[in-house]
């Protein structure tokens, strides 16, 4: 090794870590003790603890503690052993690498490892692959199995699952995590892929050893491979939740701490509806409202959605909150109708994950029926990320919702390259211009040109109307009005308001004005 240069690879005998006796950080050091910026996460302890030794610099072979760390950058597990040492009279833990291998296969299951998986993603990007399936399999409760029944039983489940997948697909299987496998199905048709998915789902019911959750998606045309993998992961999490609902006797099998907390917060009425008016740019009267979520802490502090929505989306449990918000809106509409108040149409936001939930159309209809609300009073706002769903599935879903009377709004239009493709899939009742277009509409001619063409195109598509988000001044409002935009929403008109304030300002006052005019 050149003098003064740290090694970029790890070999057997390299020092991985020197830490305080009770320290937990693991980082890589080469034999010269120079730190290399790579961190590892501890995965699994596999043998009895070593004996503490304060007399010698190192322990004997029988006194070490072996375990495994996983290198995210190398994409491989690394076996290490830990020894007790004393330096300058102080006791430390010395962790050294053992049997390092840079192979591309997982030793336990024989599948490709994460390093090979990362390479495969890069290959797909370069090849511009357009038609393929992605299937992700997650072994249910592997950590609990390892804890309750031992590592050998957990390992046998990993090997069995890998074998099932290798027999099911001619394409390679990748072990992408501790309990997760992935297949890029490139050598079969969509129909064959779906048939194989169904056979695997049936096997989860019949085979006690094949206890897994499955997420599968098929992709055609231009795709962002990493986005599609995330979408398949969302599908897997939604399928897990659906499985729990079908088998409530399984207790908390599929519920993590975050899910339990979310459900408790819903039961405790921690989530509040705030309403932001949508103003008709021609008449300057209220034309509807968007329902926005806020969280109320035990101390009464109001927390904005940016602080909590993301974690629910990433865990695939945002559907609980979305449906809860729909129910609160329906309850409000029922109350207003009984008082003779007319807020117009109210929009509620649905995540892509919520749109993937099994039986979602039936669920939203049941909520409306519970409060005797005509679905035509509800607009379901979805973002362009729903374009990651399969086209036939998405088209059928949108058509079914509209057949029941719901209106569908495409939110954040103009924020991504894929918007135009989405417009060809569904007949959206409403298009909402993204705030990024509105922000620049005064100062940049290009933004004005784009906004004008977008609004003209939407009118040509027979969309019922358009909404511009984030209007903050009169100049933006005037330009959008001239271009034919129907509704405006933003701080120029009003901020999101608590229900009582919205009622007083936009509903009760309008009723009083109408009453006075009649007199």
The 10s digit of each residue's pLDDT in 429-485 is 999 988 888 998 998 888 888 888 888 888 777 767 899 999 999 999 999 999 999
Q: How far is CA 51 from the centre of its chain?
A: 44
Nearest to 413 by CA among 457, 355, 445, 444: 457
- pLDDT score for 35: 44
- pLDDT score for 41: 38
Round to whole Å and give the CA distance between 83 and 60.
Answer: 9
The two tokens of residue 199 are 């056979």
- pLDDT score for 100: 44
Round to whole Å and give the CA distance between 111 and 283.
Answer: 64
**Poorest-confidence range of 50-54, 216-220, 392-396?**
50-54
**Poorest-confidence range of 52-61, 182-191, 328-337, 456-465?**
52-61
Region 226-251 average pLDDT: 74
- pLDDT score for 365: 97
b or e along 195-220 (b: 16 or more beta carbons within 10 Å of the residue's beta carbon)? ebbeebeebbeeeeebbbbbbbbbbe
- pLDDT score for 49: 32
**DSSP per-residue codes, 230-266:** HHHHHHHHHHHHHHHHH-GGGTTTT--HHHHHHHHHH
> Which residue would you say has higher pLDDT here, 354 or 61?
354
Percent of the chain with pLDDT over 70: 73
Round to whole Å and give the CA distance between 160 and 153.
Answer: 11
Region 81-106 average pLDDT: 63
Round to whole Å and give the CA distance between 488 and 505.
Answer: 17
Could you give the 3-state DSSP secondary structure of residue 218? strand
Q: What is the DSSP letter of 376?
A: G
Region 329-357 average pLDDT: 92
Strand 65-71's sheet: what is its strand order? 15-20, 90-97, 76-87, 65-71, 35-45, 27-29
Q: Per residue in 270-279, pLDDT tens? A: 999 999 999 9
Q: How far is CA 496 from the centre of its chain?
A: 25
- pLDDT score for 475: 94
Round to whole Å and give the CA distance between 102 and 95.
Answer: 19
Could you give the 3-state DSSP secondary structure of residue 332? helix
b or e along 269-279 (b: 16 or more beta carbons within 10 Å of the residue's beta carbon)? ebbbbbbbbbb
377 pLDDT exceeds 70? yes
Round to whole Å and give the CA distance between 199 and 204.
Answer: 9
Neighbours of 481 (CB within 10 A): 16
Region 302-321 average pLDDT: 88
> Which residue would you say has higher pLDDT here, 221 or 117?
117
- pLDDT score for 21: 58
pLDDT tier, 42 (very low <50, low <70, confident <90, very high otherwise): very low
Q: Cβ distance 405 to 374 under 8 Å?
A: yes
Round to whole Å and give the CA distance between 173 and 136.
Answer: 10
Q: Cβ distance 519 to 511 under 8 Å?
A: no
129 pLDDT exceeds 90? no
> Which residue would you say has higher pLDDT here, 20 or 384?
384
**DSSP per-residue codes, 438-452:** HHTTTT-HHHHHHHH
Round to whole Å and give the CA distance between 347 and 376.
Answer: 11
Q: Per residue in 412-432, pLDDT tens? A: 887 654 456 777 778 899 999
């Amino acid at each position: 090794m050149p003098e003064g240069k740290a090694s970029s690879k790890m070999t057997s005998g390299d020092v991985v870590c020197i830490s305080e006796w009770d320290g937990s950080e693991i980082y890589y050091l080469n034999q010269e003790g120079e730190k290399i910026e790579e961190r590892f996460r501890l995965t699994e302890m596999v043998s009895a603890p070593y004996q503490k030794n304060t007399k010698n610099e190192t322990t004997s072979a029988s006194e070490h503690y072996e375990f495994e760390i996983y290198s995210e950058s190398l994409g491989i597990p690394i076996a290490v052993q830990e020894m007790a040492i004393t330096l300058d009279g102080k006791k430390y833990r010395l962790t050294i690498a053992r049997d390092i291998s840079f192979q591309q296969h997982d030793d336990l299951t024989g599948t490709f490892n994460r390093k090979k998986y990362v390479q495969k993603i890069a290959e797909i990007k370069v090849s511009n692959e357009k038609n393929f399936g992605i299937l992700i399999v997650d072994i249910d409760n592997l950590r609990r199995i390892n804890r309750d029944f031992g590592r050998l039983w957990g390992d046998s489940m990993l090997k069995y699952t890998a074998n099932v997948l290798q027999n099911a697909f001619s394409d390679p299987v990748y072990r992408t995590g501790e309990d997760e496998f992935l297949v890029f199905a490139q050598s079969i048709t969509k129909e064959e892929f779906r048939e194989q998915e169904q056979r695997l789902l049936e096997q989860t019911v019949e085979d006690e050893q094949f206890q897994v959750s499955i997420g599968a998606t098929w992709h055609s045309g231009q795709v962002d491979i990493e986005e599609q993998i995330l979408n398949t992961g969302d599908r897997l999490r939604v399928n897990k939740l659906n499985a729990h609902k079908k088998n409530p006797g399984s207790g908390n099998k599929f519920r993590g701490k975050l899910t339990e907390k979310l459900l408790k917060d819903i039961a405790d009425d921690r989530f509040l509806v705030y309403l932001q008016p949508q103003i008709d740019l021609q008449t300057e009267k209220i034309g509807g409202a968007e329902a926005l979520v806020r969280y109320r802490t035990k101390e009464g502090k109001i927390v904005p959605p940016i602080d909590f929505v993301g974690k629910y989306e990433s865990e695939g449990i945002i559907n609980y909150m979305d449906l809860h918000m729909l129910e609160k809106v329906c309850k409000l509409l029922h109350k207003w109708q009984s008082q003779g108040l007319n807020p117009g149409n109210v929009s509620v936001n649905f995540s892509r994950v919520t749109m993937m939930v099994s039986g979602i159309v039936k669920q939203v209809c049941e909520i409306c029926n519970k409060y005797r609300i005509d679905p035509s009073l509800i607009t379901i706002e979805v973002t362009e990320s729903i374009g990651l769903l399969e086209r036939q599935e998405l088209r059928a879903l949108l058509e079914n919702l509209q057949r029941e009377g719901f209106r569908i709004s495409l939110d954040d239009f103009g924020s991504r390259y894929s918007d135009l493709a989405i417009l060809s899939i569904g007949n959206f009742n409403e298009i909402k211009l993204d705030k990024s277009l509105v922000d620049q509409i005064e100062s940049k001619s290009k933004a004005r040109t784009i906004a004008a063409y977008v609004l003209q195109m939407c009118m040509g598509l027979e969309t019922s109307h358009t909404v511009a988000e984030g209007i903050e001044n009169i100049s933006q409002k005037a330009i959008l009005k001239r271009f034919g935009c129907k509704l405006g929403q933003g701080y120029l008109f009003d901020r999101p308001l608590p229900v009582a304030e919205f009622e007083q300002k936009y509903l009760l006052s309008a009723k009083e004005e109408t009453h006075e005019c009649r007199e």
